[in-house]
């Protein structure tokens, strides 16, 4: 039997030497035969190994999870992967490592089945319920027994010392926790059913506070200098960026999460009281400041309000955790530079970010020269991005993959010229998010080079891409082209110019870029301006921010149609114009969308703004809800034209997508608001939300939690699910 180690001559090497020598004289017929036998033995071995793996919940395939769950009487949760969505990205990007480029399934059925017996042994206890909520949803959670926070008339025979009813008003930090997940004060009763913002404090109620935003850690980042040499920003973009606490699974002595264990924005009052809980000199702390190569001690850190800049005294360092600003005292102004480590908040793995994306890197087997960039590296590693590009040019612009190995800021010379029928990839290594600053805020791609291709992957790109020559393809993978090209100190975009602009004619007036394709996946961009005659625009799981105007249109205009668009799970802020729409699936168009050719194509499970012109629509909002409401009303009595119009106007007025935040840079950017109409929040094909965060499967996570609470919550208690972020 084969041992599966991959050596095709294993069986042949076991043969006696006399037979192998004779086989060599006769042209190796025996070796070729045994190679075929070894290949079939490997298949049998793999099948046996897979069968063994499927006996265990930790290693089994997804199809086996329900069967193992049935052995422990597990009521299987909703699994969003019951609908097999096509792997469009795999078809578009065959050169990536893969093999499956679809988002990781956010529904945690495996962990739920694996811990079924564990849960039942601790059934009904508060730490178990909190852990259950965390395991089922994948979000950080904190459980609170609201009946423990009710104010009581004390009985001397049964004192409740935690229910004093008298908060310490002299403690700003304690008062700041009022009506939050970590409130400890006593409250009067609220008899309403527990909801997001009411009905909390009652005898029957237990609350589950959930943090949907994730905290992303970036290490060894160059802080952005302000207008004065003592002013700095944690964010390399220089925008207001609230600092987040690092997520830690371990709780307090009782096993419950505390404020220091959840990935939420750091409260200034908490940072003022216990800076040691957040600031430290190791990579496991939430934030750290390095001045001129030396970490700043905790004793010099001061919590300050720097919304209006003010310099601390002496050698102190002021930190504003709400805006992500740093101020150095006059005796401690940096002489060289400032590096930082911090956590920022965002909804998911999207845009340039320090999260795992190894499968999106170019496959090592793709023939190309490999150049590495590391600011602190030594030869043959390049210390600047421009040095690597210069070496690529000296080698004749062959197929090349340039990989940046850290989170530093790199300038990028412009213009950049490619070569015929070749590609250039500039990518960040797995778990890194380098900051790229093109010269004059724009990377210009020049020269007419048919068949050429440029890929930007895993980058935080503070600028735009302007194609003035002719290329065949531009790919943006897990990359952020900052909307507005850069961000002002107050968080507003610096300009309304597009993030990607592709010229349709050259200086001689000849048509160019007829074969041009723009492929964008898991990325964030500003407005796109592409030639009408270009081949295609494909957007997957991305955000296109029109900055209050047109998001997609033809070059040098805001009303003419761009190329044909294929969109899957996309949020578009602003109007968009296409020559045609072959497919738009689970898309939120906040502005009107116009397709010049409507004879072919389909828009499905999407929100389409009024006054839009699209191909045929299937289960789109608000059309579906209008038809539903009219159908219900007509079952009672026939409707007049005026009544139909009134129902239509009422539905359209109510059903408008709303977001936690619209300006880029905010933690809740493009996240659907909790009060967003449920038809949009659950309007995707599998019951998830429409738009860019469809892959997070948030409605299914909440539903699964409610299913589990019915089984494990003590009898007579009412659960309240409360979203903190």
The pLDDT tens digits for 420-436 are: 999 999 999 999 999 99
**Residue range 679-697: average pLDDT?**
94
Strands (E), 223-287: 224-225, 231-233
CB-side neighbour CA atoms (13 Å) of 638: 2
Locate CATH 2.160.20 in the chain: 358-607
Q: Percent of the chain having pLDDT more than 90?
A: 68
Does the structure show a pLDDT above 70 at 2? no
pLDDT band of residue 73 (cuts 50, 70, 90) is: confident
Going by C-alpha positions, the residue among 548, 509, 517, 520 that lies closest to residue 533 is 517
Does the structure show a pLDDT above 70 at 1? no
Q: What gap in Å lies between CA 150 and CA 577, rounded to an integer? A: 57
Instruction: Sort strands 317-320 and 325-328 into parallel, antiparallel or unpaired.
Output: antiparallel
Q: Sort 578 into a burial class: Cβ within 10 Å, 0-12 / 13-18 / 19+.
A: buried
522 Rama class: left (phi>0) / alpha (psi -120 to 50) / beta: left
Going by C-alpha positions, the residue among 505, 520, 627 that lies closest to residue 572 is 520
Between 174 and 399, the higher pLDDT residue = 399
**Residue range 294-301: average pLDDT?**
94
Does the structure show a pLDDT above 80 at 95? yes
Quickly list DSSP for 329-373.
-TTS--SS-EEEEEEEEESSS-SS-SS--GGGSBPTTS--EEEEE
**Residue range 341-357: average pLDDT?**
95
Does the structure show a pLDDT above 50 at 725? yes
**Residue range 45-55: average pLDDT?**
84
Q: Percent of the chain having pLDDT more than 70?
A: 96
pLDDT at site 467: 97
Does the structure show a pLDDT above 60 at 228? yes
pLDDT at site 4: 47
pLDDT at site 102: 85
Dump pLDDT digits (tens) for 374-388. 999 898 999 999 999
Q: What gap in Å lies between CA 339 and CA 375, rounded to an integer? A: 13
**What's the predicted TM-score (pTM) here?**
0.91
Does the structure show a pLDDT above 60 at 163? no
C-alpha 62: how far from its chain's center? Answer: 24
pLDDT at site 657: 96
**Residue range 52-59: average pLDDT?**
86
pLDDT at site 8: 79
Dump pLDDT digits (tens) for 168-185. 778 888 888 888 999 888
Does the structure show a pLDDT above 90 at 552? yes
pLDDT band of residue 40 (cuts 50, 70, 90) is: confident
Dump pLDDT digits (tens) for 461-500. 999 999 999 999 999 999 999 999 999 999 999 999 999 9
Distances (CA, A) of 539 to 266, 413, 476, 567: 34, 27, 10, 5
pLDDT band of residue 442 (cuts 50, 70, 90) is: very high
pLDDT at site 229: 95
Please measure the distance between the N-terminal and C-terminal CA atoms of the chain and give it in whole angstroms: 55
Does the structure show a pLDDT above 80 at 80? no
pLDDT at site 9: 83
Dump pLDDT digits (tens) for 505-530. 988 888 999 999 999 999 999 999 99
pLDDT at site 17: 85
Dump pLDDT digits (tens) for 243-262. 999 987 766 656 788 888 89
pLDDT at site 397: 96
pLDDT at site 253: 59
Q: What gap in Å lies between CA 260 and CA 131, rounded to an integer? A: 16
**Residue range 624-634: average pLDDT?**
93
pLDDT at site 82: 43
Q: What residues does 215 pair with on adjacent strands?
A: 345
pLDDT at site 171: 82
Rounded to the nearest 10 degrees, the angle between the axes of helix 29-53 and helix 17-25 is 120
Does the structure show a pLDDT above 60 at 348? yes
pLDDT at site 61: 85
Q: For 279, which DSSP code?
A: B
Does the structure show a pLDDT above 70 at 55? yes
* Sheet with 400-404, edge to edge strand ranges: 369-373, 400-404, 423-428, 453-457, 473-477, 517-521, 536-540, 565-568, 583-585, 603-604, 617-618
pLDDT at site 252: 61
Between 44 and 447, the higher pLDDT residue = 447
Going by C-alpha positions, the residue among 466, 582, 472 that lies closest to residue 527 is 466
**Residue range 214-238: average pLDDT?**
95
Q: Domain 358-607: give its CATH code.
A: 2.160.20
pLDDT at site 272: 93
């Amino acid at each position: 039997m084969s041992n599966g180690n991959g050596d095709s001559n294993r069986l042949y090497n076991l043969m006696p030497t006399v037979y192998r020598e004779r086989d060599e004289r006769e042209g190796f017929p025996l070796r070729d035969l045994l190679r075929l036998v070894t290949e079939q033995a490997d298949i049998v071995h793999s099948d046996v190994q897979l069968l063994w793996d499927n006996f265990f919940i930790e290693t089994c395939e997804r199809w086996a999870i329900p069967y193992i769950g049935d052995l422990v009487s597990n009521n299987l949760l909703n699994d969003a992967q019951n609908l097999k969505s096509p792997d469009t990205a795999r078809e578009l990007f065959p050169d990536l490592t893969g093999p499956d480029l679809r988002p990781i399934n956010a529904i945690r059925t495996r962990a739920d089945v694996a811990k079924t017996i564990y849960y039942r042994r601790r059934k009904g206890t508060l730490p178990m319920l909190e852990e259950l909520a965390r395991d089922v949803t994948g979000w950080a959670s904190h459980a609170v027994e609201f009946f423990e926070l009710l104010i009581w008339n004390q009985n001397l025979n049964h004192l409740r010392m935690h229910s004093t009813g008298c908060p310490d008003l002299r403690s700003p930090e304690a008062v700041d926790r009022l009506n939050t997940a970590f409130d400890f004060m006593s409250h009067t009763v609220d008899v309403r059913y527990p909801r997001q913002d009411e009905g909390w404090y009652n005898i029957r109620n237990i609350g589950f506070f959930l943090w949907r935003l994730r905290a992303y850690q970036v290490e060894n980042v160059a802080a952005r200098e302000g207008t004065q040499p003592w002013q700095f920003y944690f964010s390399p973009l220089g925008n207001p960026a609230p600092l987040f606490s690092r997520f830690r699974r371990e709780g307090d002595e009782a096993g419950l999460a505390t404020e220091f264990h959840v990935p939420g924005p750091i409260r200034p009052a908490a940072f003022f009281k216990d800076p040691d809980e957040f600031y430290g000199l190791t990579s496991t702390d939430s934030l750290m400041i390095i001045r001129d190569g030396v970490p700043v001690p905790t004793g010099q850190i001061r919590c300050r309000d720097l919304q209006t800049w003010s310099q601390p005294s002496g050698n102190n360092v002021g930190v504003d955790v709400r805006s992500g600003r740093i101020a150095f005292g006059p005796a401690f102004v940096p002489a060289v530079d400032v590096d930082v480590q911090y956590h920022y908040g965002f909804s998911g793995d999207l845009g340039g970010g320090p999260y795992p994306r190894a499968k999106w890197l170019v496959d090592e087997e793709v023939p190309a020269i490999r150049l590495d960039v590391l600011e602190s590296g030594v030869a043959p590693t390049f210390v600047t991005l421009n040095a690597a590009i210069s070496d690529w040019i000296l080698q004749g612009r062959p197929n090349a993959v340039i990989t940046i190995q850290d989170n530093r800021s790199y300038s990028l010379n412009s213009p950049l010229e490619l070569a015929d029928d070749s590609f250039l990839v500039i990518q960040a290594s797995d778990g890194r998010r380098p900051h790229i600053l093109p010269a004059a805020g724009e990377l210009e791609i020049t020269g007419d080079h048919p068949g050429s291709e440029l890929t930007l992957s895993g980058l935080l790109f503070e600028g735009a891409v302007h194609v003035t020559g002719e290329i065949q393809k531009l790919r943006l993978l897990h990359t952020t082209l900052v909307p507005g090209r850069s961000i002002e100190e107050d968080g507003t975009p610096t300009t309304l110019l597009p993030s990607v602009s592709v010229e349709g004619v050259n200086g001689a007036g000849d048509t160019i870029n007829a074969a041009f394709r723009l492929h964008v996946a898991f990325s964030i961009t500003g407005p796109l301006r592409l030639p009408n005659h270009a081949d295609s625009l494909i957007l997957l799981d991305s955000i296109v921010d029109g900055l209050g105007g047109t998001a997609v249109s033809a070059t040098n205009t805001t009303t003419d149609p761009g190329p044909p668009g294929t969109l899957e799970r996309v949020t578009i802020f602003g109007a968009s114009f296409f020559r045609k729409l072959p497919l738009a699936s689970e898309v939120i168009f906040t502005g009107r969308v116009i397709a010049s050719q409507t004879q072919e194509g389909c828009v499905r499970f999407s929100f389409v703004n009024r006054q839009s012109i699209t191909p045929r629509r299937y289960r789109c909002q608000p059309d579906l809800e209008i038809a539903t409401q009219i159908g219900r009303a007509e079952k009672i009595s026939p409707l007049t034209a005026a009544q139909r119009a009134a129902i239509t106007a009422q539905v359209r007025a109510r059903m408008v997508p709303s977001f936690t935040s619209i300006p880029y840079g905010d933690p809740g950017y493009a996240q659907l608001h909790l009060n967003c109409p449920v038809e949009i929040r659950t309007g995707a094909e599998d019951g998830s939300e429409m738009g860019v965060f469809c892959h997070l499967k948030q409605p299914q996570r909440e539903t699964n939690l409610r299913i589990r609470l019915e089984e494990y919550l003590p009898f007579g208690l009412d659960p309240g699910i409360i979203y903190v972020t």
